[in-house]
Structure 1
Amino acid sequence: MPKIKICGLKRKEDVSFVNDAKPDYVGFVFAGVKRKIDFNTAVKFRSLLDDKVQSVGVFVNDKIDNIVNLCENKIINLVQLHGGEDEFYIGRLKERIKNPVVKAVRVKDKNYSAATKADFVLFDTYSSSEYGGSGKVFDWDLLKECRKPFFLAGGLNKDNTVAAVKKLNPYCLDLSSGVETNGVKDLNKIIEMVKILRSL
């Protein structure tokens, strides 16, 4: 049974939804536009979030000090780097925090690399215009040689998650647009997805 991450919480209601559904992780996005939240909002969300659910901070080429601040204040449990952060950056970050680090790899073709100092890799769909959150699926056959635990993102919804688990056996499924209606988190979709995945 894979772990479940609901990414892109933007409203207090979203926190209530995940408290009801009990995924393993939730994502607080500190980059981009459509799902971005600020430090104060993250503090509020973390205070409302069930202690059993771990929070993941999603960053794109952010200052290391900002990430360290969120970790030290126990606002986030894991760090997800979704930009062009290189191995030097990851090494510097890991020297300053004990939190697990997830490095996103945007998959376009077979010429991707899962080699990193990060604790986990997250595979997402390549886009030339954005770092993530496209809601599009990539060719999962490109991952068939991957032998390390990974997070899987990119257009996952109730129609394809079971197939993803059977084909790839990912460590965690990262869900966002697939549990939304008109760009807003949907309680029924979140509960349905968690129920489907917990039954596997």
Structure 2
Amino acid sequence: MTKIKICGLSREADICAVNEYLPDYIGFVFAKSKRQLSINQAKPLKKLLNPKIQAVGVFVNEPIESLISFEKEQVIDMVQLHGDEDEEYIRILKTKIKLPIIKAIRVKDKLDIKQAFAADFVLFDKYVKDVYGGAGESFDWRMIEDVRIPYFLAGGIHLDNIQEALKRAPYAIDISSGVETDGVKDREKIFKIMGIIKEHNNKNQ
């Protein structure tokens, strides 16, 4: 059963759309980005979010003390590290918070795929120089054919290539710009993507 994460939600209308279609996860981006939110902007959105949906906070090189605050404020249910956080950072973070941790790996070649982290999940995204994420580009998915651990697949996934992404059997598909029109989340695209994934899961039960 492939799960789905709709990332980069920033408006009340986005929350209304996901509450209707119920993806497994949504993402609030707290790192520098056109989709960036502050903790105070995210609080009311989290309160509106259906509790069946887990909110993932996306961070880049965030101080650990800051992440402790996010947990205390109950703004997020999971942490996604999308920067240069190393194994030591993750091990320390695990002693400070109880939230599950996703570590993003920006893939340039097969050596990147083989990196191991103490995180609960890894997320594969395309390496783009000087960009930590959200570039909306996919990498060569043939490089992850032999991966046997649960992983999130991100980067340039949209309606035209979602079927190919699903063939890789990821734990979860992570989509942001692929369900947007003119930089804004598109309810119809979310509906279509969710339908494709549900149909795929029904066929593979």
In which range does the TM-score fall when normalised by the shorter chain? over 0.9
Distance (whole Å) between structure 1 residues aligned to residue 10 and residue 81 of structure 2: 19
1:145 corresponds to: 146
Aligned residue for 1:151, secondary structure, equals strand
Question: Are the counterparts in 2 of residues 106 and 125 from structure 1 also a CA contact under 8 Å?
Answer: yes
2:54 partner letter:
Q
Q: Determine the C-alpha separation between the residues in 2 that align with 1:33 and 1:161.
A: 24
Q: Partners of 2:157 and 2:115 in 1: how far apart? A: 20
2:163 matched residue in structure 1: 162
Aligned residue type for 2:119? A
Partner of 1:58: 58
TM-score by length of 1: 0.97
* In the alignment, structure 1 residue 102 sits paired with structure 2 residue 105: no
* Unmatched 5+ stretches in structure 1: none
Matched with 1:173 is: 173
Q: CA deviation at 1:17?
A: 1.0
Q: Which residue of 1 aligns with 2:31?
A: 31
In angstroms, what is the RMSD of aligned CA positions? Answer: 0.8
| Structure 1 residue matching 2:6: 3-state secondary structure | strand
Report what 2:117 is aligned to: 116
The one-letter amino acid paired with 1:94 is K
Shift of 1:73: 2.1
Superposed displacement of residue 84, structure 1: 0.1
For 1:46, the equivalent position in structure 2 comes to 46
Q: Give the Cα–Cα distance (whole angstroms) in 1 for the partners of residues 60 and 46 of structure 2.
A: 20
Give CA-to-partner distance per residue, 1:11-47, whole Å, 9 cap, x none: 1111111111110000000012201000111111100
Taking the aligned partners of 1:66 and 1:198, their CA distance within structure 2 comes to 36
Instruction: Please say if residues 114 and 121 of structure 1, whose CA atoms lie closer than 8 Å, have aligned partners that are also in contact.
Output: no
Offset at 1:164?
1.2
SS at structure 1 position matched to 2:55: strand
Q: Is the counterpart of residue 128 in structure 1 residue 133 in structure 2?
A: no
Indicate the SS of the match to 1:111: helix
Question: Within 1, Cα distance between the matches of 2:68 and 2:3?
Answer: 25
What is the alpha-carbon distance in structure 2 between the residues aligned to residue 92 and residue 129 of structure 1?
Answer: 26
Unaligned runs of 5+ in 2: 201-205
TM-fit CA distance, 1:170? 0.1
Partner of residue 82, structure 2: 82
- The size of the alignment, in residue pairs, is 199
Aligned mates of 2:171, 2:104 — CA distance in 1: 14
TM-score by length of 2: 0.95
14-23 or 178-187: which moved more? 14-23
Percent of matched pairs sharing the same residue: 51
Hey, what's the Cα distance between the residues in 2 that align with 1:114 and 1:189? Answer: 33
Distance (whole Å) between structure 1 residues aligned to residue 59 and residue 27 of structure 2: 10
